[in-house]
Structure 1
Amino acid sequence: MLLEYSVQKPLNREPPPKQLIQSFITKSSVAYDRNHGPIPHIDEETHYVRIDGAVANVVEVSIKQLREDFEQHEVISALQCAGNRRHTMRTEFKEVNGIDWYSGAVMNGVWRGPLLRDVVLKAGISIEGEAHVAFSCLQTLVQDDWYYGGSINLARVMDPDKSIILALELNGKTLSINHGFPVRAVLPGIAGARWVKWLDRITIQRNESNNYYQQQDYKILPPHVETKEQAMENWHLVPAMQLMPINSVICTPETGDEIQPDAEGKVVVAGYAVPAGDDGPVTKVEISLDRGRTWEETDIVQEPPTRWSWALWGTKVDVRRLLPAEGGESSKRIWCRAQDKGGNTQDGKCQWNYRGVGYNGYGEVKNLTIKGIENQPVERALLWIFPCLRYMGY
């Protein structure tokens, strides 16, 4: 089996924010990559997924069977790394332990495959009460364990309304190698750490996965835990991250940008927002030009968001409102916050944690240098992000 990259240097990358929000459905070539080990090239013809543990019959299902023997389902869902926006926690609070993600460790895709519930029922469940479904990729060694794994509650898997699937396709095409070919777990609303790629084993069991990434990572430790040694003493006291919090980000302009308004003194402000867990869709995104004293609603653009998808939003801001009374050049900031159908509102109150996960403080851009408004318009350069803004009267 061919492997790309290595345990020491796995592929981890994110796209520029402005590129990320060009389309409601993220292109595979744009989507971020997060790995803890090498990327395996697997032969679809010989690969199978084993369902074992507390089941009536151990079942080994081929990719062909997953495609042909089960009804196929589609779900539009955002996939987000638990450490998305870690850079902000690191720079706004203090040092954290983890890869320095900015705000691009998220994507929005159309995932297709059989419901995991249907596949599990084929094996039959022989356990009652609280139980878990553990996902494993045994293809390669990883940085902190001999395999990669994660788990979620069995009750969630057995609820067809949660749209948990074994994805064979992304955006109408066979999964790419980077995104888990030939099969991966898709768990809408759940942190990306549990969406195990290159899946080859599903185990029904009483307890959570015993994998390092379930037991000693991707947890929100209390603020007093500041060292690796303290983390080791506290991992078992903290639940594994599951549902992601509501979040929103400003993708354009970016912090430090020199913005040049159009002839009307306006500039496009745009970004994405994701709902909390199962509580989508996102219903509203607001921005503040005065550090939260007042808020004003933006427009949800491109396609209407769905229960687990992100929302893309945008508005045009008169930057003269950001300038000091005497006019001239100045550095300013803009905040954003989101609300979803479940009533969750991004409140800007996010505590520091050792691993820098689950950060959902207000989206913010700052250190914006505003050029003289008498300069030539730049509307054309900005509106490529959201062509539909032209048809919204802006």
Structure 2
Amino acid sequence: MSTTEVEYSVDKPLNREPPVKRLVASFITPDDAYYDRNHGPIPHLSADKHTVTVNGLVSQPLTLSIAQLRSDFPQHEVVCALQCAGNRRHTMRTLLKEVQGIDWMDAAVMNCKWRGPRLRDVLEKAGVQKNREGLHVAFGCYQVKCQDDDWFGGSVKLERGLREDGEVILALEMNDKPLPHAHGHPVRVVIPGVTGARWVKWLDRITVQENESPNYYQRRDYKILPPDATDSQSAQKYWDKVPPIMEMPINSVVAVPDDNETITLPPSGKVEVNGYAVPQGDQGPVTRVEVSGDGGKTWVDAQLEGSAKDKKWCWVLWRADVPVEKGSGREILSRATDAGGNTQQEHSEWNLRGVVYNGYGASRGLAVV
């Protein structure tokens, strides 16, 4: 492995998000608006030397170079949102109750174009066994040590990985360029609709196996613990009982205006509001976003911009002109609905790790003059 140019350490990994206003300025997220979530250093790997091993319950184990992944398989392109399970944790923490974890605001998400071979094509070449019921496909990166484990891994059910309409790929490109080092160069897993914790970066191993990944971040993190798990000690009995987070929920965020801004009300009495919305799992696209300037008493339908409403896996950017009364402490709310009929509720249930919060999007503390 090559870790001679590690930028961040195990103790201080790179974790950051852009200003939410910057995030919603473009349907395809540009380089300067990416969020970063890491549990250890960033390895700088050579695409010429890196290989991916495919093993486990397959009849023909493989060791594939990046060149082979590019030339030996059809290349598939998918536009989809990548989301941290902790996106909007700050809202759960401040609106409901204290939680454990990085204080993510509303911008731990990005919408990108990904390109590479389908996972199903690679597994078929490796001779994945025909009796697939109950099996898992696990992804591993053994390049660097993480905060809580010697390697990073995740898994999904094999059925999910093999679905042609699931569009799971081994991404070699992101937004028509090679993956950046911080986002998994030279290859990462892309699993549309599933939390980013399973999108293993710097991928070097794919294993078909009977059980889910034994990695710490699959077994003892990224789970929605029940409300009576109120601290690390009371959580212990639940880690082996609660399933790992997979699909991300329906969600929306009010990005403009941002919290605590002062707004001059135009003669129309309406404020222009912008934001993003993401569908639940594989039940996209987002079909409707409603916005309220009076605490949810009345709602205005937002315009869904661009071609996003035709895309299953990606976010929509939306705008609405919303009536708001003058005064202090005003708030603007949003709620999204997708093609599967999922609609945001006012709040989601509290959990210790503060994950998958998807209550109404909101901009709070506004002064309207």
* Match in the other structure for 2:316: 311
SS in 2 for 1:347: coil
Identify if the C-alpha distance between structure 1 residues 36 and 229 changes in structure 2 by more than 3 Å, giving closer, same or farther.
same
* 3-state secondary structure, aligned to 2:32: coil
Cα distance in 2 between the residues matched to 1:353 and 1:318: 34
Contact 2:284–2:340 (Cα < 8 Å) also in 1:
yes
For 2:315 and 2:99, locate their aligned partners in 1 and report how far apart those are by CA, in whole Å.
26
- Counterpart of 1:138 in structure 2 is 142
Q: Deviations over 1:155-206 (max 9, x none)?
A: 1111111000000001111111111100000000000100000000000000
Q: Distance in 2 between matches of 1:112 and 1:304?
A: 18
Q: Describe the SS at the equivalent of 1:314.
A: strand
Q: Pairwise mapping of residues 194-273 of structure 1 onto structure 2 (< 5 A)?
A: 194-273=198-277
Where does residue 35 of structure 2 map in the other structure? 32
The counterpart of 1:3, out of the listed 3, 6, 9, is: 6
Report what 2:354 is aligned to: 356
Deviation digits for residues 233-286 of structure 1 (CA, Å, limit 9, x no counterpart): 111110000000000000011111111233444321110000000000000000
Say if 2:95 is the partner of 1:97: no
Percent same amino acid at aligned positions?
54
Structure 2 gap ranges (5+): none
* Separation (CA, whole Å) in 2 of partners of 1:75 and 1:44: 22
Match of 1:170?
174
**Alignment partner of 2:332: what SS?**
strand
**Given the alignment of the two structures, is residue 183 of structure 1 paired with residue 181 of structure 2, yes or no?**
no
Partner-residue secondary structure (3-state), 1:178? helix
Is the CA contact (8 Å cut-off) linking 2:132 and 2:158 kept in structure 1? Answer: no
**2:133 is aligned with 1:129:** yes
d(CA) in 1 for partners of 2:206, 2:241: 26
Q: Is the 8 A contact 1:24 1:303 kept in 2?
A: no
- 2:300 and 2:320 in contact (8 A); partners too: no
Partners in 1 of 2:65 and 2:124 — Cα distance? 16
C-alpha separation between the residues in 1 aligned to 2:132 and 2:305?
Answer: 45
Judge conservation of contact 1:85–1:102 (CA < 8 Å) in 2.
Answer: yes
Which residue of structure 2 aligns with residue 41 of structure 1? Answer: 44
| 2:339 corresponding residue in structure 1 | 341
**Aligned mates of 1:265, 1:342 — CA distance in 2:** 34
**TM-superposed deviation, 1:368:** 0.4
What amino acid is the match of 1:352? W
Are the counterparts in 2 of residues 32 and 104 from structure 1 also a CA contact under 8 Å?
yes
Does the 8 A contact of 2:300 with 2:322 survive in 1? no
Q: Is the 8 A contact 2:40 2:146 kept in 1?
A: yes
Contact 1:286–1:298 under 8 Å retained in 2: yes
Q: TM-score normalized by structure 2?
A: 0.97
2-structure distance, mates of 1:53, 1:3: 30
Q: Which 4+ stretches in 1 moved above 4 angstroms?
A: none
Give the Cα–Cα distance (whole angstroms) in 2 for the partners of residues 102 and 361 of structure 1. 13
Deviations along 1:309-368, whole A, 9 cap, x unmatched? Answer: 00000012243xx23xxxxx4321111000001111111231100000010000011110
Amino acid at match of 1:26: T
* In structure 2, distance between residues paired with 1:233 and 1:30: 39
Tell me what 1:150 maps to. Answer: 154
For the residue of structure 2 that corresponds to 1:84, the secondary structure is: coil
Secondary structure in 1 matching 2:31: coil
Deviations 1:7-46 (A, max 9, x none): 0000000000100000100012211000000000001111
SS in 2 for 1:271: strand
**CA RMSD of the aligned region, Å?**
1.1
User: TM-score, structure 1 length as denominator?
Assistant: 0.91
Give the letter for the 2:99 counterpart. V
Aligned twin of 2:295: 291
Q: How far has the Cα of 1:370 moved from its partner?
A: 1.0
Q: Any unmatched runs of 5+ in structure 1? A: 324-328, 372-394
State how far apart, in whole Å, the 1-side matches of 2:331 and 2:349 are.
21
**2:113 counterpart residue number:** 110
Distance in 2 of aligned mates of 1:223 and 1:293: 29
SS at match of 1:213: helix
Q: Secondary structure at the match of 2:140?
A: strand
Preserved contact between residue 165 and residue 186 of structure 1 (Cα < 8 Å): yes
**Pair 1:86 & 2:89 matched:** yes
- Give me the whole-angstrom Cα distance separating, in 1, the residues matched to 2:242 and 2:347: 20
User: Rg bigger for which structure?
Assistant: 1
The aligned counterpart of 2:72 is: 69
Amino acid at match of 1:312: L
